Structure formats: structure tokens, C-alpha cells
Amino acid sequence: MITVNLLPPDLRPVEHTPLPRLLVIYTGVALAAIGLTLLAFMHFNWIPDVQTKISNKTQEVESLKQQAAEYETLNLALQNITQREKACEAIWRTRTLWWQKLDSLCDLTPDYVGLTTLAFKEPTGAPTQVPDEGTLRMDCIAAKDEEKRVASFRRILKGELPPDRDKQFISDFVGGEISDYGWKVVEPPDYPGKLAINFTLEMKLKPKVPPAVQTTVPSAAGRPVTTR
């Protein structure tokens, strides 16, 4: 059934928006306003602050990368220096201090023996096939025609007779042995009419082995472990 309102327009009742729809509209407008406010706050305050923090962190990361690169360079240089230091220490431990040996030899040489020539001959052949590090050769002369002086000098060098200030002199030579090639009686040109004995002694130098070096390495548990 169709209803027709015959009243003039100004007398007709005004149609209002239903209350539920009106509440929905007001709620939507309020939410939109809040959202726009939050977006404006984020755009003008929060986002620039985050960008500043990101920029600072990026600069910090770049700085740390440079420091890490410098650390790696210094660490490699330190490792190189440490390896050279260990090599130098090994050489020092295995070398013979000839000045000490010659000083001891001078102290052990009695007054009646003169050293006319000192020579050191390097070993020949492969290092694994040579049982010594070289040969010390001494050409000597003993005053007077007395063979026992040659034997006494050999025993002094071996620490069997006084002076015994350095009994360790012979310890650096193979077997503590001294080789000789005989002797002969001569007349020194500086002392005509007097006799002396010329003789030659040789001693083979022991090959030195460097002592074990203790190193500390980290274990799986993070505790240092000492190895040899």
C-alpha cells in the first residue's frame, strides 16, 4: 500500500540520520583524525629520530670495521714478529758462543804450551748424515822436548787435570774426545839451540738441539693448555 504525504514541504517532519549510523560516522571520523595525528607525529618526530639513530649506528659500524681491519693488520704483523723472535731464539739456543770457548781455552792453556794456529772447519755432506757441527783444529807448540807435556795438555782440556776452572769446556765436543796426529821435535827459529814439540789437536763440535719450547693454546673448553 502506497502512502502519500499531502502536507506542504515546510510542514513535513524532518528525517534525521538513524542513531546507529550517526555513531558509526562519528566513530570513523574520530578514528581518522587520530590516525592522521599519529601519522603526522611519526613523520615529524619519530621517523627523523629513528633515521638519526640508524645513521649513527651506520657510522659506528664503519668505524668498527676500520678498527677491525687495523687489528687484523697489527695481528698479522705481531704473528710475523713472534715467528721471527722464535726463530732468533732457536738460533741463539743452538749456536756456539766461540768467545766463551776461546776464553776458556786461553784459561786452560798452560804456560808451557803455545797455540800457533786455530781453525774451524765446517762439516761437509747433508746435515742428516753429519754427526757433528764441525771440527776445531789447534796447531800447538810445547816448550822443551818432553812428550808428557802433550799428554798433560790433552788431559787439561778434558778436565782431568788442573786448572779445573772450566771442566765444561770439553762438554760441547763429540764424546769428550780429542784427536791428535802425532808430534815432532823442532827447533824454534826464535830460540836457536832449544828444542820444542809441535803437535796438532782436533775436536769435533756436537750438533746442538734446541730445547722444547712451551706454548699455550686455547682448549675446546676455553682454558689454556700448555704443549711442548
> Does 131 or 116 have the greater pLDDT score?
116
Reported as a single tens digit per residue, the pLDDT across 141-169 is 998 888 899 999 999 998 888 765 556 78
pTM of the complete model? 0.53
Please give the torsion angle defined by the CA atoms of residues 90, 93, 99 and 101, in that order, rounded to the nearest 10 degrees. Answer: -140
Letter string b/e over residues 129-158, b meaning 16 or more CB atoms within 10 A of that residue's CB: eeeebbbbbbebbbbeeeeebbebbbebbb
Burial class (CB in 10 A: 0-12, 13-18, 19+), 53: exposed
Q: From residue 23, how far is each of 18, 19, 32, 170 by CA, in Å?
A: 9, 6, 14, 114
Q: Of all residues in the chain, what percent carry a pLDDT higher than 70?
A: 80
CA distance 169 to 164: 10
- As given in the structure block, the three cell numbers for residue 209 are 738441539
- Whether the per-residue pLDDT at 100 is higher than 50: the answer is yes
Q: Does domain 98-204 sit in CATH 3.30.70?
A: yes
Query: With contact defined as beta carbons under 8 Å apart, do 82 and 209 qualify?
Result: no
